[in-house]
Structure 1
């Protein structure tokens, strides 16, 4: 531990991770005081919300099906409210590419030609201490256009010299994941607060100077109260840095069965900061399995290859998402197709591209405003499909 670590301890934060090169650029005393403020304001509520999750699952297991809430019916029936208008850089989201925030993937995503890069600090990124810190450094370096990477074989990766880069939308970790390497009063800070807070603190003003803003994808939300907690964090974070309220924009992944019954309420809680909803298809399927696994043969699913987006329960969920978004002026973003291109096998590559085209065609015709891909070779396919429906 270095002298920097002593200042962390003095400010109430203990850092237990092994030092990472350039970590002092990320873990400044000011940034850590900012994280501490976010933690102290929300830690108890977060724990209460997490404690409610097992009780909700137990109720579903006891044959209490999720349903639209009576206590929030007035929100769903009120035609007057809408979410904030699209923020700069989020007006066109017809192709979004997702991937982790390591150097190579960062450069490939930003050179892909997509409209948005989902900079993923959650599902596709192992949250080792090194990855957490390096991911923050890579994001800042990318915004400053000073990021590059050379493989052991000598292949160079650099950002393209000219033209606009995709808008960066950061996905922090979900509420259930702690950051065990950062402790306050002996308790870990929420991983989501670490990921959100460090990126926001270091880059919010930088993004505004570039004509965009700090934008986020919120994963694993199970109900509107969890969305309310994120909204309160956004308000506090903007106040602490003196940034105008409503600067932050958030897109929520609907990837749990309980959240699917509260889509409008989730948008309502985040309405001054909301940008849209995303159909997180794979986690949604898992949520069904986790919640209904003891409910008998009716809820047994076949091989996952047969659980496609055309199955009635998946189609109902995505149609409801589009309805909720467009009713409230938000964007509906489609999910990620499972097919992956293979440059070494022309036949397999053609099959993969055709599957992706069919999947994106269904989404575009269903009213989605854009969709995800996981590989740069899929960007042109997705763009062509949505161009054909959305036009200019």
Structure 2
């Protein structure tokens, strides 16, 4: 398993580097072919490489991704290493170790009939080209198992927040800020009003639907010169919600934002992206996984609710029962201390194999 993991990690696959993702896709395909005994179908959508195996009529979807957030060349600063049972390298935790666990788990089964294995190449950037593929397969399946990394301590992820993404564009009118500022319409000032309005939306939604909603202004820009009233300003907004009611409430309030500076115009684009992964979508699968862990002597499983989203949000969103976080045990996704606990790899693979067997 460590040799296979090294092969995946040392083939860098930064999401924005489509050539690197294509190379990684070929490595994933070759490794899967060796362990699963069959070649995959390679799907290239808008230059992004996804890899899919289908055995018979799919009833269970095993879902993962091979792209990472680490820019090409990160191996120079974050080299592959295995020291004192800790495995390091770009993307090792999120989520190449999960792919290795999945391949080895499935290789141990006497038959793969009824399974679909889908490894996408754009999860880290929002799954724009893979979402339709994921949802189409999930609609035909009775369960989805997501090989994203575990929550702290190896906990499975039985709830994920939904994600909405917005862009707010303000248009005003330029003017010389020293000679005739009164002739301008300051887009930056209007954007400041919108940011303050956004700050109150989370509180309003929390009061109406319960805790857990966040509305976060992220990237903003305004103006062209220090002596010019800004004619345009732009803001990106990241929204996280615990359930569909909160997502709908936030959407309604953001779309209802009105200009405060006379003459300014405000345009809202974007909206709900990933639906929440509701605990109800995971409860039966988690109970089954707990039974299998007990039979294997792996100790009691724990579950966690997390703020980050995954492609499991999409599968749950189309009504397919979904269990997430079945991948590696470790820590530090997207961070300098990203790592995997080597000793947990075979145990997690055995758990997945028995869970798949129980589902079929």
Which interval holds the TM-score relative to the shorter structure?
A: under 0.3
Comparing both structures, which one devotes a greater share of its residues to strand?
A: 2
Comparing both structures, which one devotes a greater share of its residues to helix?
A: 1
Structure with the greater alpha carbon radius of gyration: 2
Scaled by the length of structure 2, what TM-score is found?
0.25
